[in-house]
């Protein structure tokens, strides 16, 4: 009986004792991927490049064992999808079209912030009469398919009353696009600001700039995390997003504009070209990280584009995919409530 009572007392003590909550184990390394450009040492030209160069994310882990690694993929979105599929990345920032493809194909990603906008240009050979998008009818156009730039080209054609059937699209990566237009094997190219130096060299003439088409013209994408990482390291996931938001806040200050362009020039694009690309653009608005109605409307258009292009077969539920809780907490912790305006579906600010 005495032994039985002793056992009951031990069991009761175990039942009602308070077990201390174990602190989260910090990851040894956090692996972050971004789109890079191969015109110099691969580097980024967006918010993650700022976060990398200025240490905004690394500073969140300065008193821990965690190291933050950035990789810039010259293979753009498709290469990032492959790295995520192989378990080589924890976070990534890239265009909507390829990350929707990745999600549709089973990647366990979660959208945590918008990466902002990408100005897209159309460049034509100087010996071909192309002054507007309408003039592309019957022409050969180089673009890398399954990218946000591909989306932008199709949108520009639709806005001009044309369809994909009215042109011939040649699927080429960035470096091959430059070679193709120089060799006159295509009539025009759609791409980012790496096309601008072609005009200075007399190889091409810029005839289209996406930001001229209004807020819905530019390319777009998101910063995302794998569900596996955020489940295993929720505190670390929050710190990364907080660092990302801190980078967006720094970039929003006009006094940092010139330094930002210097940072982006590490990708090999001259500062003068980056300056020209961003003429008339407020970086605060361009790199608004909010997952607001404008972000969701743009992602809905990319989801529809992927289905039209037969790039995806399975539906993607944007409501379940996007999680704004990390962003909201980062904005609150950094005391930035109201700093970035909420936008409606057309891009018009609502506050």
The tokens describing 47, both together, are 């918010």
SS3 category, 154: helix
Domain boundary among 166, 192, 216: 216
Q: What is the predicted pLDDT for the residue at 38?
A: 60
Per the domain annotation, does 24 fall within a domain? Answer: no
Do residues 321 and 187 share a domain? no
Do residues 233 and 322 share a domain? yes
Do residues 233 and 325 share a domain? yes
Do residues 109 and 225 share a domain? yes
Q: Which domain holds residue 248?
A: 29-117+220-334
Do residues 44 and 103 share a domain? yes
The tokens describing 14, both together, are 């175990």
For residue range 61-79, what is the model confidence (pLDDT) as tens digits? 998 999 999 999 988 888 9
The tokens describing 160, both together, are 């001009």
Do residues 176 and 209 share a domain? yes
Do residues 87 and 138 share a domain? no
Total tally of structural domains belonging to the chain? 2
Parallel, antiparallel or unpaired: strands 140-143 and 121-124: unpaired
Q: What is the predicted pLDDT for the residue at 23?
A: 52
Q: Give the number of other CB atoms < 10 A from CB of residue 42.
A: 19
For residue range 307-337, what is the model confidence (pLDDT) as tens digits? 999 999 899 999 999 999 999 999 999 999 9
Q: Going along the chain, which residue ranges are E strands?
A: 29-35, 67-73, 91-95, 109-118, 121-124, 140-143, 168-171, 188-191, 205-209, 219-226
Per the domain annotation, does 16 fall within a domain? Answer: no
Do residues 301 and 233 share a domain? yes
Do residues 165 and 98 share a domain? no
- What percent of the chain is predicted at pLDDT more than 90? 79
Per the domain annotation, does 189 fall within a domain? Answer: yes
Query: For the whole model, what pTM was predicted?
Result: 0.89
Per the domain annotation, does 339 fall within a domain? Answer: no
Per the domain annotation, does 347 fall within a domain? Answer: no
SS3 category, 145: coil
| CATH number of the domain to which 43 belongs | 3.40.190.10
Do residues 99 and 140 share a domain? no
Per the domain annotation, does 346 fall within a domain? Answer: no
Domain boundary among 158, 185, 216: 216
Per the domain annotation, does 10 fall within a domain? Answer: no
**pLDDT tens per residue, the chain (351 residues)?**
444 444 444 444 444 443 343 456 789 999 999 998 766 678 999 999 999 999 999 999 998 999 999 999 988 888 999 999 999 999 999 999 999 999 999 999 999 999 998 899 999 999 999 999 999 999 999 999 999 999 999 999 999 999 999 999 999 988 899 999 999 999 999 998 889 989 989 999 999 999 887 778 899 999 999 999 999 999 999 999 999 999 999 999 999 999 999 999 998 889 999 999 999 889 999 999 999 999 999 999 999 999 999 999 899 999 999 999 999 999 999 999 999 999 999 998 887
Per the domain annotation, does 1 fall within a domain? Answer: no
Do residues 187 and 260 share a domain? no
Do residues 68 and 141 share a domain? no
Q: What is the predicted pLDDT for the residue at 226?
A: 98
């Amino acid at each position: 009986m005495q032994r039985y009572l002793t056992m009951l007392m031990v069991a009761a003590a175990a039942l009602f004792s308070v077990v201390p909550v174990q602190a989260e184990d910090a990851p040894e390394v956090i692996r972050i991927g971004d789109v890079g450009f191969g015109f110099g040492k691969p580097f980024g030209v967006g918010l993650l490049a700022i976060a990398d160069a200025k240490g905004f994310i690394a500073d969140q882990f300065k008193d821990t064992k965690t190291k933050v690694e950035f990789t810039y993929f010259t293979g753009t979105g498709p290469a990032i999808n492959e790295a995520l599929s192989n378990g080589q990345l924890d976070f990534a920032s890239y265009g909507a079209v390829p990350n929707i493809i990745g999600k549709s194909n089973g990647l366990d990603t979660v959208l945590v912030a918008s990466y902002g906008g990408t100005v897209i240009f159309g460049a034509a050979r100087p010996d071909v009469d192309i002054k507007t998008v309408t003039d592309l009818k019957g022409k050969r156009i180089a673009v890398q398919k399954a990218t946000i730039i591909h989306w932008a080209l199709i949108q520009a054609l639709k806005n001009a009353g044309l369809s994909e059937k009215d042109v011939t699209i040649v699927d080429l990566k960035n470096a091959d696009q430059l070679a193709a237009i120089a060799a006159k094997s295509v009539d025009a190219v759609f791409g980012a600001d790496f096309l601008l130096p072609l005009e200075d060299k007399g190889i091409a003439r810029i005839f289209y700039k996406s930001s001229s088409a209004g807020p819905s013209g530019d390319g777009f994408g998101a910063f995302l995390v794998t569900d596996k990482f955020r489940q295993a390291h929720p505190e670390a996931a929050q710190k990364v997003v907080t660092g990302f938001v801190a980078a967006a806040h720094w970039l929003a200050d006009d006094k940092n504009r010139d330094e930002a362009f210097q940072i982006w020039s590490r990708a090999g694009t001259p500062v003068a070209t980056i300056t020209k690309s961003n003429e008339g653009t407020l970086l605060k608005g361009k790199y608004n990280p909010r997952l607001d109605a404008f972000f969701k409307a743009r992602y809905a258009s990319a989801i529809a584009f992927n289905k039209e292009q037969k790039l995806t077969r399975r539906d993607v539920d944007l409501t379940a995919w996007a999680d704004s809780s990390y962003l909201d907490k980062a904005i609150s912790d950094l005391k930035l409530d109201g700093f970035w305006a909420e936008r409606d579906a057309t891009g018009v600010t609502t506050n």
